[in-house]
């Protein structure tokens, strides 16, 4: 087995990415503090052709050297927008028939492996602050909550890791439709 060279990876240009059909998924970052986590979310969103990222509250926005350090240019390919209030973004998306789900540990949450992607439905996932998670006021606005099953002692994943887990899960389920 031979490791592929960068030139063999068939990477899209930024222009080709912008023209490519997108995965029907939007991300909402609710008060994410770490610039490196924000950059990592952009990079993962690029990998799975996510439609858009909303950066809300105290979540920093590009251009920023620390976001760029982990995004590696994905802030140029993935469409993004800043909005002060995540709850308002949730309401706006729901008015556009987007199903909005928080990624959080909450009563009545659906375990990720039980989540079924439905054809012709656009989704948005809300991911929260590194300490407090998704705010309760935002959870109250959501159509539901997904939880990533965890069996260790921490029951806590870094937001960039949680994003990778839920995006991979969504992407592979969507591709099987």
Residue 12 lies in a domain: no
What pLDDT sits at residue 155? Answer: 86
Q: What's the domain count of the chain?
A: 1
Residue 133 lies in a domain: yes
Residue 45 lies in a domain: yes
Round the average pLDDT of the chain to a whole number and report it.
97
- What is the arithmetic mean of pLDDT over 130-138? 95
- What is the arithmetic mean of pLDDT over 140-168? 96
Name residue, tokens 């969507």.
174
- The DSSP-derived string for 5-68 is PGGGS-PPPHHHHHHSPPEEEEEEEES---HHHHHHHHHHHHHTTEEEEEEETT---SS-HHHH
Residue 5 lies in a domain: no
In 3-state terms, what secondary structure has residue 165? Answer: helix
Residue 10 lies in a domain: no
- What is the arithmetic mean of pLDDT over 94-110? 97
Distance CA 168, CA 177 (A): 15
What pLDDT sits at residue 41? Answer: 98
Residue 84 structural domain: 18-175
- What is the arithmetic mean of pLDDT over 164-173? 98
What pLDDT sits at residue 24? Answer: 98
pLDDT at 135 over 90: yes
Residue 85: which CATH number?
3.40.1280.10
Distance CA 78, CA 47 (A): 10
């Amino acid at each position: 087995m031979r490791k592929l060279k960068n030139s063999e990876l068939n990477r899209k240009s930024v222009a080709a990415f912008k023209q490519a059909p997108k995965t029907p998924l939007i991300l909402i970052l609710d008060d994410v503090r770490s610039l490196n986590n924000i950059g990592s979310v952009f990079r993962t969103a690029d990998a799975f052709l996510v439609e858009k990222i909303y950066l809300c509250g105290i979540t920093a926005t590009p251009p920023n050297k620390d976001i760029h350090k982990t995004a590696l240019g994905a802030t140029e390919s993935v469409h993004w927008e800043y909005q002060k209030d995540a709850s308002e973004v949730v309401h706006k998306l729901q008015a556009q028939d987007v199903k909005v789900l928080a990624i959080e540990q909450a009563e009545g949450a659906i375990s990720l492996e039980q989540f079924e992607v439905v054809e012709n439905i656009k989704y948005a996932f809300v991911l929260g602050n590194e300490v407090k998670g998704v705010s309760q006021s935002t959870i109250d606005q959501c159509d539901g909550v997904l939880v990533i099953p965890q069996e260790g002692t921490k029951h806590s994943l870094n937001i960039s890791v949680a994003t990778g887990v839920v995006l991979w899960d969504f992407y592979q389920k969507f591709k099987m439709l």
